A and B are shown apart, each in its own frame.
Chain A
Amino acid sequence: MRPLTEEETQAVFKKLAEYTGASLKNIIAPQEDGDRNVFRLSQNRVYVVRLSMANLATSIARDNLLSLGTCLGKFTKSGKFRIHITALPILAEHARHKLWIRPNGVMPFLYGGNIVKAHVGRFSEDCPEHQGLVVYTMDDVPLGFGVSARSTAESRRLDPTGVVCFRQADCGEYLRDEDTLFQSG
């Protein structure tokens, strides 16, 4: 377990900034009790964890430490950062653009499908093309995140079967990718 280097930090922030707005800086802001969140890299996975907990975790051997704090994602072998569904609580809190889906669209999304126009309940205004979106149910429960296929204005003109959002991650992955989500094997 180690802190991130400058390049790694930049890669992580770049990916997070796709989905989040200016409030992302609240993640690294000091908390009321004087503690703060830090980024830690353990077996190619990046975790957001409280500094006090990260310090305690140094007493655990590298191989024995499976996970700590909130896993944001992992670095690929080519050095790119891939965000995981486990980062959803952080993204949902600081989302820039949002998309709400109707009850009939929840299950298709949770099974790994893209979101079609017919399933869209609400959509953030002024969302450009290929911009990160956080997907919610109509009751504001975060389900996952994706990338907009078209801008808001264009998607209004789309036919009901047209894809509005390409899925990136959904909560169904907790079941589908159970074996690989927390294990770097």
Chain B
Amino acid sequence: MAPSKTRTIKNKHAGPKGSTGAAAKGGVKRSATDGVSKPKSKKPKGPVVSQQVKEKNRALLMKRPKKKTYTAEELGIPTLNMITPIGVEKPKGKKKGKVFVDDKESMTTILNLVQAEKEGHIESKMIKARQLEEIREARKVEAEKKAAEKKSMLEDTKESLRKKRKRKNDGKEDNDTKSISLTGTKANKASRKKVSFA
């Protein structure tokens, strides 16, 4: 009983087409009676098409218009005023992960770059050291020259003083030295200390 009454619909979406199916049925009938299809038969199809269009329009009207999404560039937002900082954001389409250097060519280029940089550093250091050395040498020579000058001046003054003394104390100096050598100095005798034990 039950299975005979139930109807199965193979295609759910075919349901609404059933309304148009009436027209189709009519078409079948006409074909059965006339056998030849007339231009009249096309008439009922006109309003159906318009109905469909209206339905579509209605559906379009019901839908809300899609909002346009703007990119940050279009809006002109300052680059720093973003959720992701500039440095953190990674470019799209770039391969994720590390890029390894394992082939000989790229390693050689890196090594050459590093060595050229190092050579430059060492060279500049050497030049700097040489310049400093030259300056030091020049200063040393200058200082030596000054010292020699000073010494010669001192010698000159000494010499001049000696000459002056000789003129003033011509015979007295000899007598004094003679007396000292004869009597000797008394300083040692006076300062001697004694220690006694019990």
Contacts from A to B (Cβ < 8 Å): 2-6, 9-10, 13-14, 17-18, 22, 24-25, 28, 30, 36, 38-39, 126, 128-129, 131, 151, 153
Q: Residues of B within 8 Å of A, CB-based: how many?
A: 22
Check B125 against A128 for contact (C-beta < 8 Å).
yes
Check B111 against A28 for contact (C-beta < 8 Å).
yes
Secondary structure call for the A interface: mixed
Which of B98, B118, B125, B129 has the most chain A CB atoms closer than 10 A to its own CB? B118
**Chain A min CB distance to B189 (Å):** 46
In the assembly, what is the distance between CA of A115 and CA of B72, in Å?
62
Give 29 A-B contacts (CB < 8 Å), ordered by A residue: A5-B98, A5-B101, A6-B99, A6-B110, A9-B101, A10-B113, A13-B110, A13-B111, A13-B114, A14-B114, A14-B117, A18-B118, A22-B115, A24-B111, A24-B115, A25-B108, A25-B112, A25-B115, A28-B104, A28-B107, A28-B108, A36-B104, A38-B102, A39-B107, A128-B122, A128-B125, A128-B126, A131-B122, A153-B129
**Total A-B contacts with CB atoms under 8 angstroms apart:** 59
- In the complex, the chain B residue whose C-beta lies closest to that of A152 is B129
Q: Is B133 an interface residue (CB 8 A)?
A: yes
What residues of B have a CB within 8 angstroms of the CB of A36 in the complex?
Answer: 104
**Chain A min CB distance to B90 (Å):** 16
Check B115 against A126 for contact (C-beta < 8 Å).
no
Q: Is B100 an interface residue (CB 8 A)?
A: yes
Q: A4-B100, A28-B104, A128-B129 are in contact. Are A9 and B115 (CB under 8 A)?
A: no
Contacts from B to A (Cβ < 8 Å): 98-102, 104, 106-108, 110-115, 117-118, 122, 125-126, 129, 133
In the assembly, what is the distance between CA of A24 and CA of B115, in Å?
9
* Set B100, B118, B122: member contacting A5, Cβ < 8 A: B100
What residues of B have a CB within 8 angstroms of the CB of A6 in the complex?
Answer: 99, 101, 106, 110
Which of A4, A22, A126, A128 has the most chain B CB atoms closer than 10 A to its own CB? A128
Query: Closest 4 CB pairs between A and B?
Result: A128-B125, A3-B100, A3-B102, A13-B114
What residues of A have a CB within 8 angstroms of the CB of B125 in the complex?
Answer: 128-129, 131
In the assembly, what is the distance between CA of A76 and CA of B99, in Å?
20
- In the complex, the chain B residue whose C-beta lies closest to that of A151 is B129
Which of B104, B112, B122 has the most chain A CB atoms closer than 10 A to its own CB? B122
What residues of B have a CB within 8 angstroms of the CB of A5 in the complex?
Answer: 98-101
Q: A126-B126, A128-B129, A153-B133 are in contact. Are A14 and B108 (CB under 8 A)?
A: no
